[in-house]
Amino acid sequence: MPVARDQEKNSLRTGPYDSLRDFVHAIEARGKLMRLKVIDQDKYEATGVMYRLIDKYGYEDAPALLIERMKIDGEWRDGPVVANLYGNWDIEALPFGVEDISDNDEQMYRATRDKLMTRIDQAGNWMKIKPVHVEPSNAPCKEVRLKGDDIDLLRFPWLKNNPADAARYINTGAVFMHDRRLGANVGTYRCQVKGKNRIGLNPEPGQDGWRLLMGMKRRGDRACRVSIAVAVDPAVWSVSSTKMAGFGESEIEIAGGLIGKPIELVRSETNDIMVPAHAEMIIEGEVPLDQAEDEGPYGEMYGYLGLMKRNNFFVNITAVTHRRNPMFFNSFTGVAADMPKGPSCAAEYHRYKKLIPGLKAIYTPRGANGVSLVSIDKKFPGEGMAAGQAVAANPGLNKVVIVVDKDVNILKPLNILHVLGARWQPSASVVIPQTQMRMPDPSMQTTGITSKMIIDATQQLPGEGGPDVWPPVSRVLLEEKCPDLLDEIDRKWPEYL
């Protein structure tokens, strides 16, 4: 099935986009989408293609992938299935209305970050816009409605990414749940496909979905109703897949604030939960709170196989609604770029700018979970280490914090390796023996406990043990003496080829 072309204008401008398919259409219009007609996933061919794309192009330059038809469990199933939607920074910029899109990663990183900074108030809170409700007749996610014996999740193209995974997974669903006392939550929690009308549900301990379900269970509730929106628009995916809302805050209002307009919602078929009207599919059901099943194992975000989860939650499906010819979005977890980084980059910059006056940029490279890169405009001794300590104090994803000078482009890993070799002295480092980290780092001996390292790779000043005078950088000298040279080279580049 071709990507939807009913809104051609979306290929000619930036977002926001009402649906995933509009976003995918815009990606293809920029020449950043690779189409494959048929793939045999029983041989893990799609997984292999994704690995090879990353091997050949890297995380930041690999194209998005669209597969039209797949062989799964011995049967050919229609897609399309899309993946790796968020690797390129020009693509990251599209959904949030950034103008003057270019292929300059550093320019697009800053433009996306700065655009999203306008959506954060002085207190660090994301701006909110309340959603609007639409009638089912105006909701694309209601075009096909399945209940009772018509429900068969097995016929849809959910992927088993890895041979060691327990089963096929719905791994990009936005799980909507609500409790009359604790409020609502929207989060992405992987769902193991267990049968025609049953799936596993894995909110990790401490996540908001887990807190809500456990709170209901302790109170004696028998079940929690949920609706899972599959293949949602980029704004809803941003708030679902990354931690942007506090417990009890409305993720959907934040999604509206991200794009400057309300998200359209429609009521579910078998419960009162309001869900995105432009989602490709809605899966409704109940989580029994007095029962549990084993779930997993599953290939985790660090690229290692996770453990089986004993006595985990599961969902009995009560209804499925979807668009005609729905599009599916698969996460090749630990392999591809499946989550937007723009909102987290903006939030981190806003948070740390108050603590680090000379902060220029902060970034966690794709494929390097646990490593935070910080660039600063250093003026005084100790500023590099102070910046690293401020970032390392976050119990989230930071295990190694590398601080560099403002002239280093932290989006380019080779630049970081260069300054480690040319500017850094190992003595300008601090190891924190034992502290908190919330991520599933496979090297941790005790869950949630890690050591950390701060590397001050800024040019060390004399007061820090550095040289009295640093030698000039050769490229800087070249650009000063020949200011038009590189522009001229760019102009003549086709002649050289």
Collapse the DSSP code of 419 into the 3-class scheme (helix H, G, I; strand E, B; otherwise coil) and give the result: helix
486 in any annotated domain: no
250 in any annotated domain: yes
Residue 58 CB burial class (10 angstroms; 0-12, 13-18, ≥19): middle
Instruction: Say if residue 140 is in the same domain as residue 280.
Output: yes
379 in any annotated domain: yes
Cα angle value 457/460/465 (rounded, 5°): 125
Instruction: Say if residue 147 is in the same domain as residue 283.
Output: yes
Cα angle value 319/325/331 (rounded, 5°): 80
Q: What is the pTM of this model?
A: 0.91
Cα separation of 278 and 288, whole Å? 28
CATH code (residue 407)? 3.40.1670.10
244 in any annotated domain: yes
Output the tens digit of pLDDT for each of the chain's 497 residues. 334 433 444 444 789 999 999 999 999 999 999 999 999 999 999 999 999 999 999 988 999 999 999 999 999 999 999 999 998 999 999 999 998 888 889 999 999 999 999 999 999 999 999 999 999 999 999 999 999 999 999 999 999 999 999 999 999 999 999 998 899 999 999 999 999 999 999 999 989 999 999 999 999 999 999 999 999 999 999 999 999 999 989 999 999 999 999 999 999 999 999 999 999 999 999 999 999 999 999 999 888 899 999 999 999 999 999 999 999 999 999 898 899 999 999 999 999 999 998 999 999 988 888 899 999 999 999 999 999 999 999 877 789 999 999 999 999 989 999 999 999 999 999 999 888 776 677 777 777 788 899 999 999 999 898 988 999 999 999 999 999 999 999 999 999 98
338 in any annotated domain: no
Instruction: Say if residue 71 is in the same domain as residue 148.
Output: no
Cα separation of 228 and 239, whole Å? 14
Answer with the one of 329, 344, 368 that is the final residue of a domain.
329
Instruction: Say if residue 139 is in the same domain as residue 53.
Output: no
Instruction: Say if residue 156 is in the same domain as residue 97.
Output: no
CATH code (residue 277)? 2.30.110.10
Instruction: Say if residue 89 is in the same domain as residue 32.
Output: yes
- For residue 120, give the amino acid letter: I
Answer with the one of 329, 347, 379 that is the final residue of a domain.
329
Answer with the one of 266, 294, 329 that is the final residue of a domain.
329
Instruction: Say if residue 93 is in the same domain as residue 147.
Output: no
Instruction: Say if residue 98 is in the same domain as residue 165.
Output: no
Rounded alpha-carbon distances, angstroms, from residue 346 to 93, 144, 186, 413, 434:
12, 38, 21, 20, 28
- Tell which residue, 490, 155, 74, has the closest CA to residue 322: 155
Phi, psi angles (nearest 5°) of residue 52: -65, -35
Rounded alpha-carbon distances, angstroms, from residue 372 to 184, 279, 296, 396, 459:
31, 33, 29, 11, 18
- Tell which residue, 215, 236, 343, 345, has the closest CA to residue 280: 236
Instruction: Say if residue 217 is in the same domain as residue 276.
Output: yes
38 in any annotated domain: yes
Specify whether the CB–CB gap between 98 and 15 falls below 8 A.
Answer: no
334 in any annotated domain: no
Instruction: Say if residue 296 is in the same domain as residue 185.
Output: yes
- Tell which residue, 133, 146, 130, has the closest CA to residue 282: 146
Collapse the DSSP code of 54 into the 3-class scheme (helix H, G, I; strand E, B; otherwise coil) and give the result: helix
Instruction: Say if residue 268 is in the same domain as residue 169.
Output: yes
341 in any annotated domain: no
Cα separation of 326 and 84, whole Å? 18
Cα separation of 381 and 365, whole Å? 27
Instruction: Say if residue 284 is in the same domain as residue 377.
Output: no
Cα angle value 163/308/217 (rounded, 5°): 140
| Residue with the two structure tokens 């995105």 | 276
Domain that holds residue 70: 8-103
Number of domains the chain is built from = 3
Query: What contacts 86, CB < 8 A, 6 or more positions away?
Result: 92, 337, 338, 339, 340, 341
